[in-house]
Structure 1
Amino acid sequence: MERNLLRIALLGAAIAAAPAVDPPKPEDTFVAVETHAWPQFGCDAGCTFSTTGGLAFPLTPRWAWMKAAPVSAVAYIVAQGDRVVLEGTGDHNHNAKIGDPANNPYLVGLDAETGKTAWEWSHKHDWGWGCVIAIASDHVWFNDDGLGKVHWKDGTAEGLGGGADSWGNISVDAKAGIFVKGCALKLDNDGTGVWAYGFDGGMKWQALRDDGVRMKDEMPFCSIAQGCGMVFVSATWTGPTAKKHKDGIFGLKQSDGSESWTRDGSWGGVSCDGRYAYATSGEKDSAKLHCMDPATGKDVWSLNCGARATHPPAHGRGMCVVLTDTGALAGIPTEGDKAGKSAAWQARTDPPYGGGERACNHAALAIAQGGGKNGILVVTGQRSIRFHDLKRGAAIGELPLDAKLGQPRNPTIADGCLYVNGSEGVVCYGPKPAKAK
């Protein structure tokens, strides 16, 4: 273990070393959290991705992808096997009118070893830059006025919707075969709410729906997670609908969307570790982190956390990690007799990744575990990637980023590599591949 921690602590030096990197040894590999749709924390709307393989050390910059056509601004990325898939639009500044090809969104599949474009896809209408994507069960999933999917390997399109839709969060449960989307706003008059589809595109149910709300009237915060046979939705309504709905967190049955429980109030992002649901409630000094029974919504335990966390809490190796909207990090044990008793560690990001909810939206978390007993927390923000000991919270390494990348976000782990994107491109860190120049 000491050997592993020493390697990680010297990450910065490893980047400056010779280009050739020895293949990672088993003890140098941290296995990523295995899940079908792991929440990727931050990303403004809260995107998802699946981790596969391990995160190997030392890490070396493999390639950088900057402003390659057709996408001029990268919003989200997912990775699996030998593909990295980007989501973005051709219109960087959103100046194009609806219907203008310059405003078309794109999905672009890159070869993970070289960064070269393997495939491109667009459904040729204005879906809006920044729609969340997820990767699970051999497909990239997205909100396409229903359910949309593209094969991650070759880009074969299976979009099942037909029109412009919302900037809304999504959740994919590959084991249950259910795709859930939350429509934060609609470009037509079909209203807002939560929709669930089977992988064949058939609608299963609708919940929390409000018809006839126009984009200018409503833009609620909506976070979605699935697990334990439930769909968890944290929602905040604005505009006319605020008079019809109470802000709160909702526990819906995954089978039919019926409400099992509701808790009113202001809630942040929600997540599920396969046993319990987690979210923060309240504002500023009154904010608490709640560990909830998925079937009833009742607290298993709760702790003061100082500020609301728009980002869903992260999970791994018996720890729950919270990044608050003020930029504070905290790790809370979730297993054993110390579960929920107190924070095992607390830290301020330096420089702070927070500084307000809007600024903190550019920070993001991912967890790699295995190899050592503690596991690794990956944090992006303020033009750097930092590594923390998951159990102790201590900073154990940092990777710099080119300023041309833009604000870093979306740490994605796949097959021994770490991918991070900004609005202007993507950088891969990992063992140098045979095809790389």
Structure 2
Amino acid sequence: MIANDRRIRVALLGHGTVGAEVARLLDEQAGELAARVGAPLELAGIAVRRPDKHPDLPRHLVTADAAGLVDSDVDVVVELIGGIEPVRGWLLSALQKGKSVVTANKALLAEHSAELAEAADAAGADLYFEAAVAGAIPLLRPLRESLAGDRITRVMGIVNGTTNYILSAMDATGAGYAETLDEASRLGYAEADPTADVDGYDAASKAAILASLAFHTRVTAADVHREGIAGVSASDIVAAKVLGRTVKLLAICERVTDADGGESVSARVHPVMIPRGHQLAGVNGAFNAVYVEADAAGELMFYGQGAGGAPTASAVLGDLVAVARNRVLGGRGPRESAHAALPIRSMGQTPTRYHISLDVADRAGVLAQVAQVFAVHDVSIAAVRQRDRHSTASLVIVTHSAPDAALRATVDEISRLDVVHEVVSVMRVEGED
């Protein structure tokens, strides 16, 4: 039942793949949405860059003046354009005027979430962004609300569908990175310019958002260590298979406790080898999955469609219903929680494990020389595997956990040994005790 005759006026910024789905659902599900909100949702306008490119839209709704639409008599601004400027200014203006904002803009949130949150707090407005990470998967709201009474220690997951599709295809077919990327582009899984995905920028923005929510600390994209998948070779995939592992690009956010009890936040994105029995190993194709560890709740897994028009629109509409209901009832959603303000731990200080593949001379004493370098840098070896090949040998070493800087220094020194012909590959290992 509708609580009153008031209408919630919505400004939609952007009419691309997701924006078009949001507009369609607002129209097709108008009655259902009104019942859930307690008042009808009225689409007041749609801002697009080139109105002439959208002849199918009602002319009275379409405008190229996004700033004017934001400043008009609207209650909620839904932003699906992306990028930093001029979007940041539009959303700040909306929040400062007490208008609620729903956005899927991960890049903006990873850089300016503090500024936006402060504007929302000052004006008593809502800032919701469920669709910014993992598409349709309900993830951010559980972190921000359902687990607010718990202590989250780790968030680790696959948050980019393009890279997951590529690595899954490489694992299934044995093909190399370049040809698999070409195939992903042909099938529409990769953008014409895939840089943001394959170089890890997209996942790093999402990691910043996840770490901020999980650890009540402001984390920006610049705080996230980032490596992409261009360096992952077909031989890396084969090496992982031999050891019962697979390769994934993971966003890993951790609350790290020092020996003296001090805490800090580590956030990183890079390829890893994980056991094939791990919960994330079976997540293939363009799907996303995020694994959460908390003191009381234990281990949780969130899985589903991480991108696409309809899945992402589902998350946007969920946020829109929430903020619209708050306006009808006179309430507001959760504010930013950054009270912990934990320091950010550098990648060099972060404990990790390495899988190192070497081509070495096939003669006595080689392993002892290599092992000595590990000992000098206080890095413990967990496993060694060797295979002879004529005058050379293949040596695979898996380490125990150690500061990443120590592991890097170890690899650098090993590469200069006379008995080491080549450091074939270096990859971090996750998901094993």
| Shorter-chain TM-score above 0.5 | no
> Which has more helix, going by share of residues?
2
TM-score by length of 1: 0.28
TM-score by length of 2: 0.28
